[in-house]
């Protein structure tokens, strides 16, 4: 059983004295020392099976040899020279690859940045520049980032906006389908129709920004019919579709991009998180005419498109393709989904299991009839998993976030889920005290 030692306490106490509160959302006192594949070791030498993949960033597994080789080779050449003024091969090579693999059989252009949030900002700027329209439509419970622009289009919760003053104007929110808690497709579509009929003329709307699968909302997966109608309304009215695939991109759902699951060719796609196997990088890929409608330096970052990050990204994409990680995500993901559904027969706290590939949510409730969220039990399960050797976090207060590296083997998945079920049993039997989770601040 993992224990908190004086060494770990000192590190955490020092960080608490130095870092701003807003930069961290800790779940338990885990101080990472090293990682490989689907395993992480802390500074005490304790080993953990990773079901979080650094918040869906490490899709190709920790420290993949091909990525390390690409990084080392580029570092030996040069670490950085701004592509804002000069050219370098890794920058061009990655852009070519992104144009090739993203949805849409049309000519595209790429713009790099440093985070998914910054690229969401860029997508908004590009859409407004191209259309000459100001208004943006987003969805309740969406999470697009924390820069001012991405925060403005995020419908995750009012806490994100406290003390921020005025955000980007002309942003409108409509409901997103949630079949488990009764938010029907037609109800959401009707809200969209009412918006463009009663509130904002369709010809004033630049774009609809959406997560193909809402992640931080608790893995909400809409019906195909929802996107068919949204796309129809947008195409009829000259409204652009911006797919935020920061979370779902690069194989997480069993497709390279989740838009492919819904047969959508977005006008602009935003990429981040797993793009460079943990190196700082993000990108926007959009139709040529849209991406050429704005001007320098409206989306200009001196360290964006860093050659080391670009080399890591190209290597990461090659790993996904060469090691058939999309297929593995589906195979292992289906196994994990079935295991969790089997757990439902023994554990009343599991209200719902949903997901695609290795993007899985397990809804923990106080009562299956009322579907009331059980935040305390969820936090205790995650804490007990850490004590037993599994890294697990949660969404939306009550949804276990099961997003391991796409390289996870069936054996690793089995071992991890054995620990998860044992942890659920311990919580149900009152073996995890309330005091154990006093420090948990997971969203």
Residue-by-residue pLDDT tens, the chain, 443 positions: 887 888 999 998 998 899 887 888 888 999 999 999 999 999 999 999 999 999 999 999 999 999 999 999 999 999 999 999 999 999 999 999 999 999 999 999 999 999 999 999 999 999 999 999 999 999 999 999 999 999 999 999 878 888 888 899 999 999 999 999 999 999 999 999 999 999 999 999 999 999 999 999 999 999 999 999 999 999 999 999 999 999 999 999 999 999 999 999 999 999 999 999 999 999 999 999 999 999 889 998 999 999 999 999 999 999 999 999 999 999 999 999 999 999 999 999 999 999 999 999 999 999 999 999 999 999 999 999 999 999 999 999 999 999 999 999 999 999 999 999 999 999 999 999 998 887 676 54
b/e burial code for range 72-81 (CB count within 10 A of at least 16 → b): eebeeeeeee
Residue 442's pLDDT is what? Answer: 57
- State residue 443's pLDDT score: 46
Contacts of 99 (CB under 8 A, 6+ apart): 108, 109, 110, 285
Domain boundaries, the chain: 6-60+324-437, 65-322
Question: Please, which residues have CB within 8 angstroms of residue 312's CB and are 6 or more apart in sequence?
Answer: 67, 70, 71, 276, 277, 278, 279, 281
Beta bridge partners of 49: 39, 390
At 235, give phi and psi (nearest 5°): -65, -35
Q: Which of 288, 372, 357 is nearest to 59 (CA)?
A: 357
b/e sequence 34-52, b meaning 16+ C-beta within 10 Å: ebebbbbebeeebebbbbb
Question: Rounded to an integer, what distance in angstroms lies between the CA atom of residue 438 and that of residue 2?
Answer: 17
Q: Which fold has domain 6-60+324-437?
A: 3.90.1150
CA atoms of 267 and 243, how far apart (whole Å) = 8
CA atoms within 13 A on the CB side of 82: 6
* Residue 367 burial by Cβ neighbours in a 10 Å radius (0-12, 13-18, 19+): exposed
Within 10 Å of residue 171's Cβ, how many Cβ atoms? 18
Any bridge partners for residue 205, and if so which? 135
Q: Which CATH number fits domain 65-322: 3.40.640.10, 2.60.40.1080, 2.40.50.140, 1.10.260.40?
A: 3.40.640.10
Element (H, E) at 231: helix 224-236
Q: Are 335 and 328 in contact (CB under 8 A)?
A: no
**Rounded distance, CA 80 to CA 302, Å?**
10
Report the distance separating Cα 32 and Cα 53, nearest Å.
13
pLDDT of residue 441: 64
380 burial class (0-12, 13-18, 19+ CB within 10 angstroms)?
buried
Task: Output the six-digit token pair for 392.
Answer: 């697990």
Structure pTM? 0.96
Q: 204 CB contacts (<8 Å, ≥6 apart)?
A: 133, 134, 135
Q: How many residues does the chain have?
A: 443
Report in angstroms the alpha-carbon separations of 143 from 81, 154, 258: 32, 5, 16
How many other C-beta atoms can be found within 10 angstroms of the C-beta atom of residue 200?
A: 17
The DSSP code for 19 is S
How many CB atoms sit inside 10 A of residue 162's CB?
Answer: 7
Which are the contacts of 323, defined by CB distance < 8 A and separation ≥ 6?
60, 407
């Amino acid at each position: 059983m993992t224990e908190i030692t004086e060494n770990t306490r000192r590190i955490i106490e020092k960080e608490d004295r130095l870092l701003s509160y807003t930069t961290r959302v800790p779940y338990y006192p885990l101080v990472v020392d090293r990682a490989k594949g689907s395993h992480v070791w802390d500074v005490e030498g304790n080993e953990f099976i990773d079901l979080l993949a650094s918040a869906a960033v490490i899709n190709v597994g920790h420290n993949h040899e091909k990525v390390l080789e690409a990084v080392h080779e580029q570092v030996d050449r040069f670490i950085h020279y701004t592509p804002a003024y000069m050219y370098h091969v890794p920058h061009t090579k990655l852009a070519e690859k992104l144009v090739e693999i993203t949805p849409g059989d049309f000519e595209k252009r790429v713009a790099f940045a440093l985070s998914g949030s910054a690229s969401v900002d860029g997508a908004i700027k590009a859409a407004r520049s191209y259309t000459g329209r100001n208004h943006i439509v987003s969805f309740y419970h969406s999470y697009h980032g924390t820069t001012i622009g991405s925060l403005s289009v995020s419908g995750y919760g009012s806490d994100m906006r406290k003390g921020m003053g005025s955000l980007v104007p002309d942003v409108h929110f409509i409901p997103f389908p949630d079949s488990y808690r009764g938010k029907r497709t037609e109800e959401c579509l009707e809200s969209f129709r009412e918006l463009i009929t009663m509130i904002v003329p369709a010809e004033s709307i630049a774009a609809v920004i959406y997560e193909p699968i809402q992640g931080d909302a608790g893995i909400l997966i809409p019906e195909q019919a929802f996107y068919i109608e949204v796309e129809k309304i947008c195409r009829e009215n000259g409204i652009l579709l911006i797919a935020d695939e920061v979370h779902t991109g690069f194989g997480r759902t069993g497709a390279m991009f989740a838009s492919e699951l819904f047969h959508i060719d977005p006008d602009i796609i935003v990429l981040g998180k797993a793009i460079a196997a943990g190196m700082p990088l993000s990108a926007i890929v959009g139709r040529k005419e849209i991406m050429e409608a704005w001007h320098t330096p409206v989306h200009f970052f001196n360290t964006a498109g860093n050659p080391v990050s670009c080399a890591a990204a190209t290597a990461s994409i090659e790993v996904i393709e060469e090691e058939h990680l999309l297929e593995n995500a589906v195979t292992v993901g289906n196994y994990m989904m079935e295991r969790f559904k089997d757990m439902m027969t023994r554990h009343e706290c599991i209200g719902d299991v949903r997901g695609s590939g290795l993007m899985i949510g397990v809804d923990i409730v106080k009562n299956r009839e009322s579907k009331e969220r059980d935040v305390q039990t969820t936090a205790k399960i995650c804490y007990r998993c850490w004590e037993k050797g599994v890294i697990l976090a949660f969404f939306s207060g009550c949804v276990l976030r099961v997003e391991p590296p796409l390289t996870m083997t069936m054996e690793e998945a089995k071992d991890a889920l054995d620990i998860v079920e044992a942890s659920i049993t311990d919580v149900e039997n009152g073996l995890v005290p309330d005091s154990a989770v006093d420090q948990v601040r997971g969203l």
